[in-house]
Amino acid sequence: MGPEVRALGEDDLRASHALFLRSLLVEPAKDAEWEVLARSYQPGRTFGAYLDGTLAGTAMTWGSTLRVPGGADLPTGMLTRVGVRADFRRRGLLTALMRATLADSVERGEVFSTLHASEPVIYGRYGYGVATRAPRVAVRTGVPFAPTAPAGGRVRFIERDEAVAVLPDLYARVGRSRPGSLARPAQWWPVAIERPSDDLRFIIHAGPDGDDGFAVFSTVDESANGPRLDALNLIGADDNAVAGLWRFLLSIDLAAEVSVWARPPDELVRALFTDPRAVTDETLNDDLWLRVVDVPRALAERTWAAPVVIKVNDPLLPDNTGVYSVSESGVRRGPAEPDVEVDADVLARLYLGTWSATALSAVGRLRARSPEAAARADRAFRLPRPAWCGTYF
């Protein structure tokens, strides 16, 4: 008999978490850590895969919303804590878990499923594609700012208790301007900022209209030149707030470098200095992986820059398979000659404008009727500013 997947109850969560950590070769959480982690689950959204009566695989989701081009926030699952016991690998447990979590998403009326991949070659087969990119950006301290760089406002430290109280609302207010951004569920926050093992510092930026940005960082000693500040989050309502937070972090005495994880591809820090070599992009990683669970709704609720006809093939969620004519005035499903034909993972790559249909066609990932048809798809999906997620899970 194949694996059986069940939603886990509260009593099984610690075992599920230990299984996940073990699969990443990490020790299970100690009691103090677990006290925080126990608050990071949403009921009914953690799954166990059983084989021969043994809990041997697990995955969980949070319910969220994803901002799509045009500004709508659509119901979305955030899939995480995926792991299979090393002695049960390659026996179909992950596939069973992926089918179960996608079926759960469909049942909940979610339009997307999202994840961050530690094993990036695996998820394409389930219809996930890299939908945003986000480099880690590092800046040397002591480099003069360009004279025109925004001055920023006032920055103050807050303690962890205050961060727990104020950051969720501040993020919801100032952190959601881009397509690709995710609402952060209440259960996401404890893992991010309350774990006793993390020594985090919190700063708030205040602009002319009050608090409008924040950063969360820690100090590491890995840089060859001296201590480095590593920020997990640097979120500002506007360019002034983002510049103000960068300025403050770069002004902290003794730090040799400031490195901020997962910045937008058009991060403004690159333009803040007269010396362009002050800034290095350490990686241009895959950021958010997207799975379009409800294709008709996903296409209908985003805005389009130009018309295009798309044929979608989705054997895993066959209700999505079809031909969609999209334009500024809406979406029509039904017979039409497609400009481009895509599988679900490639639709996910295109959806937030991160990839070019022309480039994907050149490597055979997308079938285009002609170069002009691929260019039409490029125009249709394109966004004025790159999409960005910036929320890790």
Ligand X SMILES: CC(C)(COP(=O)(O)OP(=O)(O)OC[C@H]1O[C@@H](n2cnc3c(N)ncnc32)[C@H](O)[C@@H]1OP(=O)(O)O)[C@@H](O)C(=O)NCCC(=O)NCCS
Interface region with ligand X, contact rule CB under 6 A, candidates 89-97, 201-209, 295-303, 367-375: 89-97
Q: Regarding beta strands 54-67 and 257-260, do their DSSP bridges make them parallel or antiparallel, or are they unpaired? A: unpaired
Q: Contact at 8 Å (CB) between 22 and 15?
A: no
Q: From the CB of 305, what's the least distance to ligand X, in Å? A: 33
Whose Cβ is closer to ligand X: residue 16's or residue 141's? 16
- Contact flag: residue 22 with ligand X (CB under 6 A): no
Q: Contact at 8 Å (CB) between 368 and 357?
A: yes
Give dist(CA 278, CA 149) in Å, integer: 14
Interface region with ligand X, contact rule CB under 6 A, candidates 4-12, 93-101, 177-185, 294-302: 93-101
Interface region with ligand X, contact rule CB under 6 A, candidates 30-38, 65-73, 80-88, 198-206: 80-88
Q: From the CB of 35, what's the least distance to ligand X, in Å? A: 24
Give dist(CA 357, CA 374) in Å, integer: 6
Q: From the CB of 26, what's the least distance to ligand X, in Å? A: 10
Q: From the CB of 365, what's the least distance to ligand X, in Å? A: 18
Give the phi and the psi of residue 338 in degrees, each rounded to 5: -70, 140
Binding mask 97-126 for ligand X (x = CB under 6 A): --------------------xxx-xx--x-
- Contact flag: residue 206 with ligand X (CB under 6 A): no
Q: From the CB of 82, what's the least distance to ligand X, in Å? A: 4
Q: From the CB of 141, what's the least distance to ligand X, in Å? A: 34
Among 48, 69, 75, 83, binds ligand X (CB under 6 A): 83
Q: Amino acid identity, residue 301?
A: E
SS3 content of the chain, % helix, strand, coil (to 5): 30, 30, 40
- Contact flag: residue 285 with ligand X (CB under 6 A): no
- Contact flag: residue 95 with ligand X (CB under 6 A): yes
Give dist(CA 308, CA 345) in Å, integer: 18
Give dist(CA 290, CA 346) in Å, integer: 10
- Contact flag: residue 307 with ligand X (CB under 6 A): no
Q: From the CB of 218, what's the least distance to ligand X, in Å? A: 23
- Contact flag: residue 91 with ligand X (CB under 6 A): yes
Write out the two tokens for 176.
């959601």
Give the phi and the psi of residue 241 in degrees, each rounded to 5: -70, -45
Q: Amino acid identity, residue 58?
A: T
- Contact flag: residue 92 with ligand X (CB under 6 A): yes
- Contact flag: residue 143 with ligand X (CB under 6 A): no
H or E segment at 301?
Answer: helix 295-301
Contacts with 191 (C-beta within 8 Å, 6 or more apart), sequence order: 36, 37, 40, 393
Q: Which residues bind ligand X (CB under 6 A)?
A: 23-24, 57, 82-84, 89-95, 117-119, 121-122, 125
